[in-house]
């Protein structure tokens, strides 16, 4: 069970995100239903540490095992929900961002899908984006 809760017009999510850098590029994801990039990672499960969650999410999304270098920052976000699942809710997110150890290769084995705001299964595309 993901650590996401909705109750009485309020929604909370706890997640773990990866910062993966190789050859001056950062690995980001996108999909055909959005017009932006987002980091690899996702919701932590009940009983799972943030470290365990980011390693699991990296493997699920890239098909490759990454190791953690260090926790870089924790981001907390408050907003009014504007998509189906949380529309009109007062939302709060907390996310731990981890720098992952470089592997010396950009090779991936991704077959990742997400469920979008409409509940549809959508394939993710991973992109190495130049940092500059």
Alpha-carbon separation of residue 18 from 25, 27, 81, 95 (angstroms): 13, 9, 24, 10
Structural domains present in the chain = 4-130 (3.90.79.10)
Q: What is the pTM of this model?
A: 0.90
Convert the pLDDT of each residue in 3-53 to its tens digit: 999 999 999 999 999 999 999 999 999 998 889 999 999 999 999 999 999
The rounded distance, in Å, linking the Cα atoms of 59 and 69 is 16
Spatial contact of 126 and 46, defined as CB atoms under 8 Å apart = no
Tell me the mean pLDDT in the region 48-73. Answer: 97
Q: What is the pLDDT of residue 117?
A: 66
Tokens of 31: 């999909």
Spatial contact of 54 and 43, defined as CB atoms under 8 Å apart = no
Spatial contact of 127 and 30, defined as CB atoms under 8 Å apart = yes
Predicted confidence band at 84 (pLDDT cuts at 50, 70, 90)? confident
Q: What is the pLDDT of residue 1?
A: 82
């Amino acid at each position: 069970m993901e650590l996401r809760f909705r109750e009485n017009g309020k929604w909370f999510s706890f997640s773990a995100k990866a910062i993966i850098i190789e050859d001056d590029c950062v690995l980001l994801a996108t999909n055909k239903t959005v017009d932006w990039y987002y980091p690899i990672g996702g919701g932590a499960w009940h009983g799972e540490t943030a470290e365990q969650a980011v390693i699991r999410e990296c493997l699920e999304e890239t098909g490759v095992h990454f190791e953690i270098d260090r926790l870089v920052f924790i981001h907390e976000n408050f907003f009014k929900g504007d998509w189906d699942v949380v529309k009109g809710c007062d939302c709060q997110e907390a996310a731990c961002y981890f720098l992952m150890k470089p592997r010396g290769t950009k090779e991936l084995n991704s077959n990742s899908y997400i469920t979008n705001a409409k509940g549809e299964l959508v394939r993710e595309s991973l992109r190495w984006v130049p940092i500059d």
